[in-house]
Structure 1
Amino acid sequence: MPAPSAPPASASPRRGVLALVVLVPALVALALWAFAWPAARTAPRDLPVGVAGPAAAAARVEQRLAQRDGAFEVHRYADEAAARAAIEDRAVYGAIVVTDRGPVLLTASAAGPVVAQSLHQAVARQAAAAGTPLRTVDVVAAPERDPRGAALGATVLPLALAGVATGAAVALLGLRGVRAVAALVTVSALVGAVAAALAHSWLGVVTGNWWAVAGVFALSALAVSAAVAGLGALLGRPGTALGALVVVLLGNPFSGAASAPELLPEPAGAIGRWLPPGAGASLLRSVSFFDGAAAAGPALTLTWWAVLGTGALLVGGALRARADRGAPAARRGLAPTG
C-alpha cells in the first residue's frame, strides 16, 4: 500500500496566516469591548447613598432620588453624625442631610472622586430646582497629590502585569512544589515593597500605614501570579494565556478603580469585584483612606485567589511529576527482551 502523501509545505503557513487574520481582530474587538464599553456606559447603578434629617423632609428627598430608577440605593440615618459614620465605614458613598438652611451633601472623594462629582451634580440640580442653596462637605477627602484618583487607578494595570509576568515565568520555567510557591511569594513581596515605596513614600497618592499598603500591593500581585501559574500548571500554555487574558482584558477595565463598581454597567461591576484587580483596588482604598473599613470582603477575595492558585500549582506539579515518573517505566515495559 503506498504511503499517504505529505501535505504541501504551504499548508502550515496558510493556516498560520488564517489564524492571524481571525485572532487579531477578535482580540482587538474583545479589548475594545472590555475597555470602551464600561467607560461609555458610566452611570450610577444602585449606588449606596444616605439621607438624614427630619422624617418628612427626608422622605421627599428619597422620592426625588427614586425618580432616577435604579440609580441609587437609599439608606436612612437619624442625623448628620450617623451619616458621617456610615461614610467613614464605607457603607455609603455619600449622604444628603436635610437642614433648615438647606441640604448638606456629604461626600467622600477618597472613595472615588468620580462618584463624589456625580453625587454633587445630581443633588445640585435638585437643589437649584427647589431654589435652595447647597453646601458640600468632603468627609474623607482624596489626597492632595491625587485629587482625581487618577494615580491610584493607574496602579491597577502595573500590578496586574507584574502578577501575570511572575505567574507566566513560574509556569514556563517549569517550577514545581515549594520552590514555585516560594518564588511567587518572594516576588510578590518585593513587588509590594516597590509599589509602596513609589505610590506611598514618593508620590504620596496613597496614605495610611506603609506596611499595610505594601501588604495590599503584595497580596494583589500574589493573587494574580498564583492564578496564572496555577492555570499554567493544570492546563499548560493555554492555561497561562487564559489567566493573563482574564486579568488584563477583564480584571483591569472591570475593576472600577478609576470610578466605582456601582458606576459600571452590569455585569462588569459584579465581575470586577470578584477579580483580583478590582478587589485589590477596593482593599487599597479601605486601608489607605478609611482605616481598614470594609476591608474584609476584598481581602478575602484576594486570599481565595492566592490559595486556589497555589493549590492548583501544587496539584499540577504533582500530576506532572507522576507522569514523568511513569514515562520511563512505560518505556521499559515496551522495550524488547531477549
Structure 2
Amino acid sequence: MNGTSDGRPGNGPPAPAPTGFLAEVKDAVRLRAAVLVVGVLALQIAFVVSYVGAFHEPRPRDVPIAVTAPTGALASDTARRLAALPGDPLDPRTVPDEAAARRQIEDREVDGALVVDPGSTTDRLLVAGAGGASLADALTEVVASAERSRGRTLRVTDIVPNAPGDARGLSSFYLVIGWCVGGYLCAAILAISAGARPANVHRALIRLGALLLYSIASGLAGAVIAGPVLDALPGGVGALWGLGTLLVFTVGAITLALQGLLGIIGIGLAILLVVVLGNPSAGGAYPWPMLPSFWSAIGPALPPGAGTFAARSISYFGGRAVGGPLLVLAAWSLVGALVTLVCARQRDESGRTSGEGAAGAPG
C-alpha cells in the first residue's frame, strides 16, 4: 500500500495545491509584499498631506523686517504699527540707519527693510529677491497695504536680486533636491546590490567610502551644471561643490543608517524624512516665513532646508550665515556614518556568536 499507517501519503504523488480565487491571491501576493504595499500607501498619503499641508495657504508669518527713520521715535512708532497688523505677518525691529538695514539684509538677519522718509509721502522698501521671490512679493504686498492705509506710497528696491538665469530664485532649491535624490538613491543601490545591512564593519566602511566618492562626483557635477553650464547660479563652483559633496554624503549616510537599523524598510523611512518632510519644508518655493508653523520649524533642521539656505547664501550673499546649515548637515552626516558602523559591528558580532554556537553544538 502506498501510504502511512495514519493515512498520510507516503511515497505517492504530492497533494494537489489548493484551488480557488482566494488561494490564487495568497499565492500571488505574499504577506511580506502585502505589508510593503501598505507601507507604500502610507508613504503616499504622507506625501500628499505634507505637500498640500505646506503649500495650500502660503502667507507671511512673522517675517523679520528692519525699520529705520531719521528719528528713533518715528522708527519705533512705525515698527509698533507694523507689529500690530492683523495676522502677525511681520516681525519688525528698528535699526539706526539705512546702512545698518542693508547689512542685516545681506547678512540674512532680516528679509527686508522699510526706510521711512517723513519729508515725503513715499517710503522705500528694501528686499532681497534672491532670498525667495515669493517672500519678497508677499513682503511688498503687506507693507504696501500698510502704507496705503496711512495715505503713503511705497517704492521697492531689490538690493540682492536673482541672477538673470535663475527665474524666481528656484535654481538653488532644485539643485539641492537633485543632490538629495542622488544621495539616497546611491545608498539604496548599494543596499539592493549587496544586501540592506552590511555584514561587518569593513563592508560598512567600503559602502561609506563608495558613497563619499559618489558624493564628490555628484557635488562637482551639480555645481558645474548650475554654474558655468546653465549660468543659473552666480556663486563660485568650489563653494557649491563642497556644499553638494557634504549634502549628498549626508543624505546617503542617513539612508545607510536607516537600512542598517531596519533593512530595506529604511529606504522608505529615508524617503519620508528627506522627500516627504524635507522637501516641502526646505524653503524653496516658499521660504520659511511663508510656511505653516510645523514646516517652518522642521525645515532648518532637515538636510533639504539646510542645503537650500546654504546654496542661496553661497550664490547671492557671499556665503554669509552658512555656518548653522553646515553644522546641521555635518551633524546628520556624522550620526548617519556612526549608526551605520555600529549596526555593522553588531551584525558582525551576532554572526560570529551564532557561528561559534553552531560549531560547538553536537552534530
Do the aligned residues in 2 keep the contact of 1:156 with 1:257 (CA within 8 Å)?
Answer: no
Structure 1 residue 14, shift from structure 2 partner? 6.3
Structure 1 residue 52, shift from structure 2 partner? 0.8
1:148 aligned residue (168, 192, 195) = 168
Partners of 1:47 and 1:315 in 2: how far apart? Answer: 42
Matched, 1:186 2:196: no
Match of 2:73 in 1: 56
- Deviation per CA, 1:204-223: give whole Å up to 9, x if none: 22122210011111111111
Structure 1 residue 24, shift from structure 2 partner? 5.2
Alignment TM-score, normalising by the size of structure 2: 0.85
Partners of 1:332 and 1:20 in 2: how far apart? Answer: 36
2:227 aligned residue (184, 187, 200) = 200
**Which amino acid in structure 2 is aligned with residue 41 of structure 1?**
E
Partners of 1:272 and 1:2 in 2: how far apart? Answer: 67
Residues 1:216 and 1:149: Cα distance change in structure 2 (over 3 Å): same
Partners of 1:262 and 1:131 in 2: how far apart? Answer: 27
Do the aligned residues in 2 keep the contact of 1:171 with 1:233 (CA within 8 Å)?
Answer: no
- The number of residues matched between the two structures is 335
- Deviation per CA, 1:142-175: give whole Å up to 9, x if none: 1111141133322233222111111222334245
Q: Which runs of 4+ in 1 moved over 4 A?
A: 7-10, 12-25
- Superposed, 1:49-128 pairs within 5 Å as 49-53=65-69, 54-66=71-83, 67-99=85-117, 100-101=119-120, 102-128=122-148
- Superposed, 1:1-338 pairs within 5 Å as 9-10=23-24, 11=26, 13=28, 22-23=38-39, 25-53=41-69, 54-66=71-83, 67-99=85-117, 100-101=119-120, 102-172=122-192, 173-174=194-195, 175=198, 176-336=203-363
Do the aligned residues in 2 keep the contact of 1:171 with 1:240 (CA within 8 Å)?
Answer: no
**Which amino acid in structure 2 is aligned with residue 259 of structure 1?**
Y
- Deviation per CA, 1:302-326: give whole Å up to 9, x if none: 0001111111111111112222222
Residues 1:143 and 1:318: Cα distance change in structure 2 (over 3 Å): same
Larger deviation, residues 118-127 vs 56-65: 56-65
Larger deviation, residues 236-245 vs 246-255: 236-245
Partners of 1:118 and 1:236 in 2: how far apart? Answer: 44
Structure 2: 5+ residue runs without aligned partners? 1-5, 9-14
Partners of 2:311 and 2:348 in 1: how far apart? Answer: 38
Larger deviation, residues 132-141 vs 220-229: 132-141
- 1:259 is paired with a residue whose SS is coil
Residues 1:296 and 1:59: Cα distance change in structure 2 (over 3 Å): same
Do the aligned residues in 2 keep the contact of 1:168 with 1:240 (CA within 8 Å)?
Answer: yes
Structure 1 residue 131, shift from structure 2 partner? 2.6
Residues 1:2 and 1:281: Cα distance change in structure 2 (over 3 Å): farther
**Which amino acid in structure 1 is aligned with residue 254 of structure 2?**
A
Question: What is the Cα-based RMSD across aligned positions, in Å?
Answer: 2.4
Structure 1: 5+ residue runs without aligned partners? none
**Which amino acid in structure 1 is aligned with residue 45 of structure 2?**
A
Partners of 1:180 and 1:152 in 2: how far apart? Answer: 28
Do the aligned residues in 1 keep the contact of 2:43 with 2:272 (CA within 8 Å)?
Answer: no
Partners of 1:272 and 1:206 in 2: how far apart? Answer: 22
Residues 1:147 and 1:60: Cα distance change in structure 2 (over 3 Å): farther
Larger deviation, residues 270-279 vs 62-71: 62-71
Do the aligned residues in 2 keep the contact of 1:223 with 1:306 (CA within 8 Å)?
Answer: yes
**Which amino acid in structure 2 is aligned with residue 183 of structure 1?**
A
Residues 1:2 and 1:134: Cα distance change in structure 2 (over 3 Å): farther
* Pair member with larger Rg: 2
Partners of 1:221 and 1:199 in 2: how far apart? Answer: 16
Residues 1:32 and 1:86: Cα distance change in structure 2 (over 3 Å): same
Residues 1:221 and 1:24: Cα distance change in structure 2 (over 3 Å): closer
Structure 1 residue 241, shift from structure 2 partner? 2.1
Structure 1 residue 328, shift from structure 2 partner? 2.1
- 2:123 is paired with a residue whose SS is strand
Larger deviation, residues 16-25 vs 307-316: 16-25
Match of 2:12 in 1: none
